[in-house]
Structures are given as C-alpha cells and as structure tokens.
Amino acid sequence: MDDQVHSEAAPATADGGVELVKVRVLPDGRVDRRNAAAALNRRPKTLAEWQSKGFGPRPFLVGGRVFYKWAEVQAFARGEAA
C-alpha cells in the first residue's frame, strides 16, 4: 500500500511551542477520523461531535468508516471555511 505519512504542525501548545504529529494519508487523499483529529490537535470524539453540529471538515463514509479529505482538514486547520 502506498500510504503517505505527513508531518503536520498541530496548533500551538499551551507553552507557545508547536508539536509535530504524523498523519497517515491514503493514496486517494483521504484520512480517517483518528488521523484528522491528530492533525487538528483534537480527539476523534470531538470530530464526531462537530459532525453532528455540521461544523468542521466534511466527513464521508467508505465501507462504513468515516473519512475526511486531507485538503479539507488542512484548510480547516488554517482557518479557512470547511
């Protein structure tokens, strides 16, 4: 499998530093909820709550699993409309 692993700068930490997290991006540009949450410095449960409120990057289902488009996760992290 040709998954890509990206190091993404998560939002600043409480002490003003930046934490790098590894995010697994599938060849078609999607990430699962766990990896999307890691990139946004949130818990997967938070993204599930956002989904129910229509907030955050738009999720979609593949085989019963929740995924996000990596480009939309990155745009949301930059503060762009999702």
Q: Which two tokens stand for residue 20?
A: 């790098």
What are the tens digits of pLDDT across the range 5-64? 665 555 555 677 778 889 999 999 999 999 999 999 999 999 999 999 999 999 999 999
Residue by residue, DSSP assigns 14-26 as: TTS-EEEEEEEE-
Q: Are strands 18-25 and 4-12 parallel, antiparallel or unpaired?
A: antiparallel
pLDDT at 82 over 60: no
Q: Specify the pTM.
A: 0.77
